[in-house]
Amino acid sequence: MAKRALVSVSDKTGLIDFMKKLVDAGIEIISTGGTKKAIEAAGLPVMSISEVTEFPEILDGRVKTLHPAVHGGLLAVRGKQSHMEAIKELGIQPIDFVVVNLYPFKETISKPDVAYDDAVENIDIGGPSMLRSAAKNHRSVTVVCDPADYDLVAESLDDNADVPFELKQKLAAKVFRHTAAYDALIADYFTKQVGEEFPEKLTLTYEKKQALRYGENPHQMAAFYSEPIEDVSTIAAAKQLHGKELSYNNIRDADAALGIVKEFKQPAAVAVKHMNPCGIGIGETVNEAYDKAYETDPISIFGGIVALNCEVDAALAEELHKIFLEIVIAPSYSDEALAILEKKKNIRLLQVAMSDEPQDFAQYTSVRGGMLVQDLDTKGYADIEENLKVVTDRKPTEAEMESLKFAWTIVKHVKSNAIALVNDGRMVGMGGGQTNRVGAAKIALEEAGEKTKGAVLSSDAFFPMNDTVEAAAKAGITAIIQPGGSIKDQDSIDMANKYNIAMVFTGMRHFKH
């Protein structure tokens, strides 16, 4: 009895060449709908599924393979006498190969303003059922869900039109990953449709983008996975124009830099080192912004990542070319700029769209034995502007308010405890990741040096003591922005008044652990 292959695919890449190889191996082809028409058009022999089930397709094709003649042929254990006698008595012939990929649900919901009914109609029922049945019985059935595996299967066929068990097992594992990812997308779509923010079960799916040489350190293995439906303004969707492959640390730093630079509507430049900003500038042009970012800390920017929210021209490329940078991120590059930057073989040049952060983006953090999930902190100055409260005798000047706005935007991207100093459209000092706030402030003030004169200070959380205000005042800081909310707020206010510092409370903190 000839072996049979059941074939039903939405993605017909490589299908006909694969079918020819199966037919040449003496395998009968059973197929459905558009797949059957494509095989027939290639002049290959193919049997309709209705000939196997002796039942017509019904409900606009919704029911065609959900039949004992199909699943009996797939699930019968070949080495089990009772199974083989049962299907023989019912006139069911074994099915030895399943070649199936699923309705394009991901592609459908990726379309702008997709209709709900269109999404529902593109939920495959028969396909996953066939794949799971075949994968469960993989000792007897070869199951293929990915066109990338067609050649591997064809090359592995032996004289009995069979493939090694080890390959069957790998293909079955791939099927279960495939159907799990498919169901995860469907579950996520419906969960969002009904507005369930934190469901009782969280099922995530990601697609492997690239293997990495190693992780945070050379002794750690790593890989990079991206969301199935990519946001074009993310590192995962970045187009690499030049340079070596990104490393684990490159990707994390690049993501941090991109998150900061996207905060700004005016031309901005951000330099990041080890997940913290080491230079941020804004200006009338992106070239001016970069000059300010560079001046923040010319030492730390060396070997760092620079993100820009405007096109890189030749003049800016010349400046970037002067120092060693791991990565440059921008929405576009002029041809002249590319020619200049590509003179360095290893620099990574990334092109990323600079659209706003999605407001419903979730942030996942793994812990031993679990996962923490929260909304991404997308709140910025615009969200607190109406509720700002000047708590000191002196109000900030208009120029100070612009600097405070800039400083508040920056500080949420610095590791807590965080302090950021701003003067003349650029960050001049930063203290982050400290175990006490005055320690973070002292680091920032020391880094800034004489640039503290006339600068403003932002803090990601309230001052538990008045020592931070006193340190700032003695260094020449003229205005402070902080959330407020400490039981000792009045002590900080009194200290600010003593030194004629203007202080503003936002009512919102920006912890970043």
- Enumerate the active-site residues: 136, 274
With the CA atoms of 377, 380, 383 and 384 taken in that order, what torsion angle do they form, in degrees rounded to the nearest 10? 110
Question: What backbone phi and psi angles, to 5 degrees, belong to 195?
Answer: 75, 25
With contact defined as beta carbons under 8 Å apart, do 414 and 277 qualify?
Answer: yes
Question: What backbone phi and psi angles, to 5 degrees, belong to 327?
Answer: -145, 145
Instruction: Centre a 10 Å sphere on the Cβ of residue 212 and count the other Cβ atoms it contains.
Output: 18
With contact defined as beta carbons under 8 Å apart, do 455 and 430 qualify?
Answer: no
What are 330's two structure tokens?
């921008």
What are 355's two structure tokens?
């659209």
With contact defined as beta carbons under 8 Å apart, do 398 and 416 qualify?
Answer: no
Alpha-carbon gap, residue 395 to 196, rounded angstroms: 44
With contact defined as beta carbons under 8 Å apart, do 244 and 210 qualify?
Answer: no
> What is the DSSP pairing of strand 268-273 with strand 276-282?
antiparallel
With contact defined as beta carbons under 8 Å apart, do 257 and 354 qualify?
Answer: no
Cα–Cα nearest to 459, from 423, 498, 504: 504
CB under 8 Å to 52, separation ≥6 — which residues? Answer: 30, 67, 69, 70, 73, 93
What are 75's two structure tokens?
């699930």
With contact defined as beta carbons under 8 Å apart, do 379 and 508 qualify?
Answer: yes
**Helices and strands of the chain, counted as H and E runs:** 19, 21
Instruction: Centre a 10 Å sphere on the Cβ of residue 103 and count the other Cβ atoms it contains.
Output: 17
What distances in angstroms separate CA 38 from CA 42, 284, 446, 499, one per listed residue? 6, 58, 72, 81
